[in-house]
Each structure stands twice: as C-alpha cells, then as structure tokens.
Copies of this chain bind each other. A is one copy, B any other.
Amino acid sequence: MRPIAAPADRSPLRRGTTTAKVVEVLREQILSGALDEGTQLRQEKLAAQLGVSRVPIREALRQLEAEGLVTLVSHKSAVVSGLSIDDLEEIYDIRARLETWLLEQSMPLLTEADYAKAEELLAQMADLTENQHWSSLNWSFHAALYAPAHRPRTLELLRKLYLNAYRHFPLPIRLTGGSDRMHREHKLLLDLCRQGDIERAKAHLEQHILLGARPLLSRLKALRKTGRQE
C-alpha cells in the first residue's frame, strides 16, 4: 500500500479530497482480498502508510462502513467486515426478487443497442483469464439488461449487493464455479429476451441467480467448517 501523495506532488492527478482517495484505496484493497475479512484497520498505521493524517482515514472508515465493507465499534479499531453464509444466501434471495422484477419491466423496452452492449460485455468476460474484473463485468452485463427499466435506486442497491457478495468467495472457489456454465446461461438469457418470452426469461434468470449461487455457497460452507484454524 503505497502513499497517496508523494511529498510535494502538487499538480498532476491530485484532484479530489484526500478522504475520497483513502476510500478508493481501501475499498480496492478489501474487494481484491488484499485485506482479508477480520483484518484490523489501525488508524495510525493506515495514516502512516498512506502518508496522510488520521482525520481523512476516520472519515473514510465511516463511509466504508456505510458500504458494508468495514465494521466500526466506538473506541475499538475498525475491522474488515465478513458475511455469514446466511447473509450471502439472503443476498442472493434479494437479488432474485429484484432482478426478475427489473427484467420484467425492462424487457419490452430493450433496444438493439442494449443487446449489442450486453453482448460486448459477454465477449469481454469470455476473454478474461484474470479474475479480478470478472465480477465487475458480470454486474455490468446484468445492469445493462435492466437499464431501460429506469430504476436507478434499485440498480444502486443491487450494485452494493454484488460488491459485497463476490469478495467473500476466495479466488479458487470463484474459478471452479464453472465460468463456462455462467457463459451459457448468460447467452440463453439474452436469447430469451430477444424472443420476448418474458415468463421464461424471468424463470431462467431466477434459476441463474439462485442455482448459480448454490455450488459456491456449499463449497464456502465446507471451507469455513474445516478452515477454522488461523
């Protein structure tokens, strides 16, 4: 974690408040798994590492708490938050409810431009050998399908759920999830939308969300049971 501001770095990409940049750095670290869940975040240590004072650190931690990435208890050090299996299952349930509804709203309004964008995103996902950006692309793909529904707050809500859900699956688990299967399901979803078959598309999306999560969750469950040693 390198300092944000090199000493006497005044001109180039030095825009925005310090707090905002601390938030970005920490969020990136947490989402990428560099800061594992349960890690203590000492204000002074972070301040020293990033080359700033503790004030923006504290404000950043508050914002990250709001995003569900850290947990704050007064007079104790902030901790990178974790999600229980139950929490994750609940998140997938919420996704299933809200996304099928969004799809129902947006399907009749989807234009060729929307389909093109979705396919472009699918192509990018297929190319990725790296994993880091897969979840971001996955979200973009889904969001593209829901965009015509014009429900910005719902989308924002779902975006946060996506963010929080994915980081809790360690890399090996995400990879074994069968990205080829994901790809096939995404393709099928697009096809069903193009055919205008609302009911089948909704049903397929629901299965995609709920059943797709199943293997990930059971692997994670097993992992957590055995991996209780630190």
A-side interface residues toward B, CB under 8 Å?
A: 16-17, 20, 55, 58-59, 62-63, 65-67, 74-75, 87, 90-91, 93-94, 97-98, 101, 151-154, 157
Contact of A65 among B66, B97, B151 (CB under 8 A): B66
- Residues of chain B contacted by A91 (CB below 8 angstroms): 153
A94–B94 alpha-carbon span in the complex (Å): 10
Contact of A58 among B59, B101, B152 (CB under 8 A): B59
B157:A74 contact, CB within 8 angstroms: no
- Residues of chain B contacted by A63 (CB below 8 angstroms): 62, 65-66
- Residues of chain B contacted by A65 (CB below 8 angstroms): 63, 66
Contact of A153 among B74, B90, B151 (CB under 8 A): B90
B74:A17 contact, CB within 8 angstroms: yes
Nearest Cβ distance between residue A54 and chain B, in whole angstroms? 11
- Residues of chain B contacted by A151 (CB below 8 angstroms): 90, 93
A93–B102 alpha-carbon span in the complex (Å): 10
B98:A94 contact, CB within 8 angstroms: yes
Considering the complex, give the chain B residue whose CB is closest to the CB of A89: B151
Report whether over half of chain A's contact residues are helix, strand or loop; otherwise say mixed.
helix
Chosen A-B contacts, 13 in total, with CB atoms closer than 8 Å, are: A16-B74, A59-B59, A62-B62, A62-B66, A65-B66, A87-B153, A90-B153, A91-B153, A93-B154, A94-B98, A97-B98, A97-B101, A157-B157
B94:A154 contact, CB within 8 angstroms: yes
Considering the complex, give the chain B residue whose CB is closest to the CB of A164: B153
The 4 A-B pairs with the shortest beta carbon distances in the complex, nearest first, are: A66-B66, A62-B62, A17-B74, A90-B153
Nearest Cβ distance between residue A90 and chain B, in whole angstroms? 5
Contact of A94 among B17, B93, B157 (CB under 8 A): B157
Considering the complex, give the chain B residue whose CB is closest to the CB of A63: B62
A151–B96 alpha-carbon span in the complex (Å): 14
A90:B59 contact, CB within 8 angstroms: no
Task: From A65, A94, A97, A153, name the one whose CB has the most chain B CB atoms within 10 angstroms.
Answer: A153
Nearest Cβ distance between residue A100 and chain B, in whole angstroms? 9
- Residues of chain B contacted by A98 (CB below 8 angstroms): 94, 97-98
Nearest Cβ distance between residue A57 and chain B, in whole angstroms? 12
Nearest Cβ distance between residue A46 and chain B, in whole angstroms? 16
